[in-house]
Amino acid sequence: MVAEVGLIAEPHLQAYLRPTAVIDWQQPQVLAQARALAGGKPEEVARNCFEWVRDRVLHSRDHQRNPVTCSASEVIQHRTGYCYAKSHLLAALLRANHIPAGFCYQRLSIDDKGAPYSLHGFNAIWLRQWGWVRADARGNRVGIDARFDPPDESLAFAGTAKGECTFANVLAEPLPVVVEALRLGGGWEDLLKRLPDVKPADYAGLGLKPQ
């Protein structure tokens, strides 16, 4: 077990610390990396974890990398993942350091021209002095400069164009539609053709609330 960097007692945050089949932070390779990023105050550890995932794990589409990963242990083994998978690893590293972490989503236009749309996944990190702080570790490239500088928010995408939205929810687990898409198999090009989406008619049923 890593040092109890962000150990908290609030019962309502316990769900954001648990290991799962996808957020498998108790897996040895994930734990080892969490230990390597520990040290300092919770905000410093959170920044270490964020920047490591953002910069050291290659975005599958940007770098045309396989395999398509899903669980935190898969992402850390192969050092690649779509935004969703990178958010799973970041949550695992944070939870291993006893820092509550959840999942956030945007619905974005794939070609910036309206339909079709897809989800974009990132994280929210709970820090005692700030509460929930959203952080997007998808990986920077030309036109994207996401940072972790609480309480300021710096996301990869604005999500404000027609038909786009950012959901207000901080979920304790990834959306099932995201996990299902990652688990279907195939390479990065295959996933690019079937990126997960949630239509407005389904928002309420999933408890999603556009902000």
Has residue 7 been placed in a domain? Answer: no
Has residue 143 been placed in a domain? Answer: yes
18 has a pLDDT exceeding 50 = yes
Has residue 56 been placed in a domain? Answer: yes
Please give the residue range of the domain that contains residue 192. 14-206
Tens-digit pLDDT profile for residues 165-181: 999 999 999 999 999 99
Percent of the chain whose pLDDT exceeds 70:
96
User: pLDDT band at 198, cuts 50/70/90?
Assistant: very high
DSSP per-residue string spanning 32-78: HHHHHH--S-HHHHHHHHHHHHHHHSEEHHHHT--SPP-SHHHHHHH
User: pLDDT band at 5, cuts 50/70/90?
Assistant: low
For residues 34 and 187, the answer to whether their CB atoms sit within 8 Å is no
Has residue 109 been placed in a domain? Answer: yes
Has residue 4 been placed in a domain? Answer: no
3 has a pLDDT exceeding 50 = no
Number of structural domains the chain divides into:
1
31 has a pLDDT exceeding 50 = yes
Has residue 3 been placed in a domain? Answer: no
Tens-digit pLDDT profile for residues 137-174: 999 999 999 999 999 999 999 998 899 999 999 999 99
Predicted local confidence at residue 34, as pLDDT: 98
27 token code pair = 């897996």
Strand partners of residue 210: 167
pTM of model > 0.85 = yes
Has residue 9 been placed in a domain? Answer: no
Q: Report the amino acid identity of residue 108.
A: L
Alpha-carbon separation of residue 66 from 61, 88, 93, 195 (angstroms): 9, 17, 22, 16
1 has a pLDDT exceeding 60 = no
9 has a pLDDT exceeding 60 = no
User: pLDDT band at 28, cuts 50/70/90?
Assistant: very high
For residues 173 and 167, the answer to whether their CB atoms sit within 8 Å is no
Tens-digit pLDDT profile for residues 65-124: 999 999 999 999 999 999 999 999 999 999 999 999 999 999 999 998 899 999 999 999
CATH code (residue 151) = 3.10.620
Predicted local confidence at residue 205, as pLDDT: 95
Has residue 105 been placed in a domain? Answer: yes
